[in-house]
Structures are given as structure tokens and as C-alpha cells.
Amino acid sequence: MVKCPMTNRQQGFTLVEMLIVVAIIGILAAIAIPSYQDYVVRTKRADMMVELQNIGRQLESRKLAVGRGGYRTLAANNNQAIQDLLGNYPRSGNASYQITITNLASGNWVLTATPNTAGTQARDGALALSVNGRKCRGTRCGVGDEWRQ
């Protein structure tokens, strides 16, 4: 009688090996997901900062374009061009911020971007930009890097 070598050997992973892999994936996910979410919040905040500065530049340009009366003329006419600068941001898709302006007629305007309460930015705090370049994020205000802190 001739004996054949065992060719019926099982191949695969043991349960312990699979549990180790699942644990490693869980640890990586626990680190990566919050980090990614923080990155998304910072990116949307940076986009909003740029947009507020763009709107501020456009306000200044439009004030110069109307000539005499400046901001009062823009505010009195309830200028549709000014209203088009305000509202939801981003303009399409899911809005992260609501942009408003106060004190336009007096010339001491303040642009405010308030995060939508249902979005990822909800706990990030409002951003504000004034006519004299003062920037606020939440309660921190100044003319430096207050937006980034």
C-alpha cells in the first residue's frame, strides 16, 4: 500500500489573525475619521474667509462706482447687486454659512458669516469682517490671524 502525502491542507486565516486585523482597522479609523472631519471644517472656514474678503472688495468697488453718497446710496437703493453678494455660501449645494451685512448705510459695515446649525461648521463659530479690516472668529477679534486660531 502506497501512502500519498497530505494534499488536503486547509489554507486561510485564523480567527485570531482576523480579529487582529479588525482591531488595527478600528484603531486607524478612530484616529483618521476625526482628523478628516477637522480638516473639512478648517477647509470650509478658509473658503469662507476668502469669500468674505472678496465680498468686502466688491463692496468697496461698488461704493466707488456709485460716486457721491457711497454706502448710503448702495443701502438706500437696496441694491440687488449687494443682495446678490449675501445669502448662503457656497451658493450651490449644501450651504455651510449664511452671509449678512450690517451698518452698510453708515459706512461702518460688518460682514458676518454664521454657520448653519445643521452642518459640519455648526460648532466652529461665526466669522466677521469689518470695513476697517477687523476680523472676528467667535469672540476673538483683531486685525491679525484671528480667523485661523
Phi then psi dihedrals of residue 106, to 5 deg = -75, -15
Amino acid letter, residue 127: L
Cα separation values, 20 from 13, 29, 32, 139, Å: 11, 14, 18, 46
What domains, with CATH codes, occur in the chain?
15-142 (3.30.540)
pLDDT string in tens for the chain (149-residue length)? 666 666 666 778 899 999 999 999 999 999 999 999 999 999 999 999 999 999 999 888 888 887 777 777 777 766 677 788 888 998 888 889 999 998 888 888 999 999 998 878 888 889 999 999 888 888 778 776 666 65
Does the pTM surpass 0.85? The reply is no
Give, in degrees to the nearest 5, the angle at Cα 59 between 58 and 65: 85
The SS3 of residue 36 is helix
The SS3 of residue 11 is coil
CB 52 within 8 A of CB 113: yes
| 129: nearest Cα among 106, 103, 105 | 103
Q: What confidence score (pLDDT) does residue 8 get?
A: 63
